Amino acid sequence: MPPATILDPLIAATDRALRALFAPAQASRPAPDQVNAEPLSEAERRDAAGLMRVNHTGEIAAQALYEGQALVARSQVTRELLNKAAREETDHLAWCETRLRELDSRPSLLNPLWYAGSFAIGALAAVFGDRASLGFVTETERQVERHLDDHLARLPGRDLRSRAIVAAMRNDEIAHGAAAQAAGAAELPATARKLMRRTAAIMTRTAYWI
C-alpha cells in the first residue's frame, strides 16, 4: 500500500478529532425539544449544567471510541456501522453544546485528554477483531443507557429541554447497541466490563466539575 494511502485514514481521523474538540458541532437533526421551559433556580442551573457537561464529555469519548475502532476495523461493513453511529453521536454533541451555552456553562476542560484516551481504547478493542470491537460497542451502550437513566432521574423536573435531549440520546444509544449485537458482537469478559465501568466513573465524576 502506498505511504500516502496508509496516511490518509490517520490524517482524516486527526481532522475529525480537531473538529470534535475545537469546532462547533453541526447536528443533522434538530434538537429534540425547542419548547421554552420554566426558569431554573441558580442551584438547578448549576446541577443541570454539570450533568450536561458530563453528557457532552461522554459524546466526545464516543466520537473518539468510534474513530479508533473504525480505523482498525477489518471489514467495511463494521466500519460503516461504526461511522453511522459516530454521525449520530455528532448530533448528541451539538445538542449538548447548545444546551450548555443556554445554561451559561462550558464543556469539560479535560476533553482533549478524554478524546485521546478513548481513541486509544477504541483502537485497542478493534485489534482483537470485529466481533470483539462490536462487543465493546454493545457493552458501552449498555453502560451509557444506565448512565442516562440516572441523569433523567437527577435532572431538575422542570428542565424540560435537557431532559428531552437526554431521552433522545438514550434512544439512539439503545439502537447503536442493538445494531452492534445484530452484527455479531461477542460478549466481553467480566473483567473488561468492570474496567469499563470504573473508567467511565472516573470520567463522569471529573467532568461534572472540570
Check if the beta carbon of residue 115 is closer than 8 Å to that of residue 61.
yes
Q: What is the mean pLDDT of residues 46-68?
A: 90
Confidence check: pLDDT of 155 > 60: yes
Q: How far apart are CA 96 and CA 150, in angstroms?
A: 17
Q: How far apart are CA 102 and CA 128, in angstroms?
A: 42
Taking domain 39-209, whether its CATH number is 1.20.1260.10 is answered by yes
One-letter amino acid of 64: A
What SS3 state is found at 31? coil
Structure confidence by residue, pLDDT tens digits, 86-103: 888 888 989 999 999 999
Q: How far apart are CA 194 and CA 149, in angstroms?
A: 19
Check if the beta carbon of residue 169 is closer than 8 Å to that of residue 95.
yes
Confidence of residue 7 (pLDDT cuts 50, 70, 90): low
Q: How far apart are CA 1 and CA 135, in angstroms?
A: 30
Structure confidence by residue, pLDDT tens digits, 163-207: 999 999 999 889 888 888 888 888 888 888 888 888 888 888 898
Q: What pLDDT is attached to residue 77?
A: 87
Confidence check: pLDDT of 1 > 50: no
Q: What is the mean pLDDT of residues 108-121?
A: 89
One-letter amino acid of 200: A
What are the boundaries of each domain within the chain? 39-209
